[in-house]
Amino acid sequence: MVRVLCSLALLFPLLAQEQESPTLSTDTSLVLVPVSVADRKGNLVDGLQVEDFQLTDEGLPQKLRLDTSDTLAAPVSMVVLIQASGISQPAIERIKQVGSMLKPVVAGNRGQVAVIAFDDEVRVFQEFTTEGDAVTQAINRINGRTIKGSKMLDAVGAAVKLLSTRPISDRRLIFLMSEARDRGSKLNLREAREMAERAGAVVYSATYSVQIQNWTSKPSDAPSMPGEPNYVDGLTELSRLSLRNAATSLARVTGGRHMSFVTVESLEKLIARMGEEIHGQYLLSFTPPPSKNKGFHELHVTIPSKSNLVIRVREGYWPEREPR
């Protein structure tokens, strides 16, 4: 069986044991590190054993355990984020056609899905549910509003807050379908990144070009923009292209994947690939030694005997999942 190639790191605190003296209490956690492995052509790699992997935490090698999706009891909790700007209507129409895939293909039978739309504000269309029809119906209710509003990073923050209501042992995912860049969020990229890292959430992003979506869509799918051309807005759009690609950055640092789509067929393939990765994975785990570093811990994973493989893993973890 192909094991997943998804990258995600969750922290599962061990059950606290009673201590004779309160000064001996510890805050030890088990760190779980799903690892993506592919060959140079992008094919998923199967058959690796625990001894094939080497993992360091802050540069120190760790003793590892390896599980697979067959032995992993944790279900998937996924928040779907959809840009609902008016300029995104052609992409929204494509997303509606594949909405029914998300629950069975990505979240799975025991998984739960929530749906959020964002433009110049962030709106929850569906709280977590196990019902695939409810997810599909929520997506079908989304339509473009404010022409260019796209508070992507604020939406990521809202997704993290929803995920924090799920059991700490769930595999927490954020599936972002939007343009690649943010427009006007209160959160900055560093803040959104830290929130996702602390929550143990992996971000998958499926982005699109508004211009290409419009060129390849029916006129009825495009937003109505009457009046003379707005050259100021055009210059603003050109300057925005130089901004950092938030969707790519969030996927990279959390161990997810950034992909793009144009057609319904390409979006279907993207979702199928995502589901394949999530539902079969190399899941490394280790118990970190005591450390004075209460901040971000850098992780590094290698496969020394197979240096030609491509490894995808999150950049690290925080000893405390959520900021206090």
pLDDT at 2: 40
| pTM check: above 0.85 | no
Tens-digit pLDDT string for the chain (324 aa) = 444 334 434 443 333 333 333 332 234 478 878 888 889 988 888 889 999 999 999 999 999 998 755 555 578 999 999 999 988 999 999 999 999 999 999 999 999 999 999 999 999 999 999 999 999 999 999 999 887 789 999 999 999 999 999 987 788 999 999 998 898 999 999 999 999 999 989 999 999 987 665 555 555 444 443 333 333 343 333 334 334 589 999 999 999 999 999 999 999 999 999 998 888 778 888 998 888 898 999 999 999 999 899 998 889 998 865 544
pLDDT at 3: 41
Q: What is the pLDDT of residue 144?
A: 92
Query: How do residues 286-323 score in pLDDT, each as one tens digit?
Result: 998 888 898 999 999 999 999 899 998 889 998 865 54
Q: Compute φ and ψ for 193, nearest 5 degrees.
A: -60, -45
pLDDT of residue 164: 93
Token pair for 45? 């790699």
